[in-house]
Amino acid sequence: MLLPVAVQAAGTTPVKVTILLASNQGKDFDMDNDDYRDELIKLFAYSYYKQTNELRVELAQGKREIVPLGDDFELVLSLQRQEAERIYLQAVIRKGRQAHVDTVLSILKKGVVFVGGPETPSGTLIVVLETGM
């Protein structure tokens, strides 16, 4: 689907970041939108999902972007490099010095990646990264 071209800083790659907390307390999709509803049902065994934030990050090559995730967790995104339509993206969910998840992804055009698993008092952290919007 073509979307109107949004103003975007030159040389940056946009990544949509949606932050969710999942748990088995309750039965609801408490999200601002219905994005990923189907996927969440198919992929995960939780009964309750709450969206805590959704934002768009513009990644420039070699520059790190830090997104607070709540409960002292942070998401660190960095664009390693780009080759034609494929991007190499590093995503780290960390708390202090500890990297709970550290992954490098190679994504061609449009893709959705669910990165998560760290436990917080409010639920299990799931970060949805979407590229190629």
> Half-sphere exposure (CA, 13 Å, Cβ side) for 22?
21
CA–CA separation, 8 and 28 (whole Å): 35
Select the residue interacting with another protein from 9, 39, 63, 72 (CB under 8 A). 39
Q: Does 48 bind another protein (CB under 8 A)?
A: no
Closest distance of CB 21 from another protein, Å? 11
3 state SS of 39: helix
Binding residue for another protein (CB under 8 A) from 11, 43, 63, 72?
A: 43
What are 84's two structure tokens?
A: 């034609």
Q: Which of residues 60-79 bind another protein (CB under 8 A)?
A: 76, 78
**Encoded tokens for 100:** 């709970």
Q: Is 98 in the site for another protein (CB under 8 A)?
A: yes
Nearest-angstrom CA–CA distance, 62 and 77 = 10
Alpha-carbon dihedral sign for residues 98, 103, 104, 109: negative
Among 9, 26, 55, 103, binds another protein (CB under 8 A): 103
37 within 8 A of 29, measured Cβ to Cβ: yes
Residue from 70, 82, 113, 122 that binds another protein (CB under 8 A)? 113
Which residues sit at the interface with another protein, rule CB under 8 A? 1-4, 6, 22, 33-35, 37-39, 42-46, 76, 78, 80, 88, 90-94, 96-119, 124
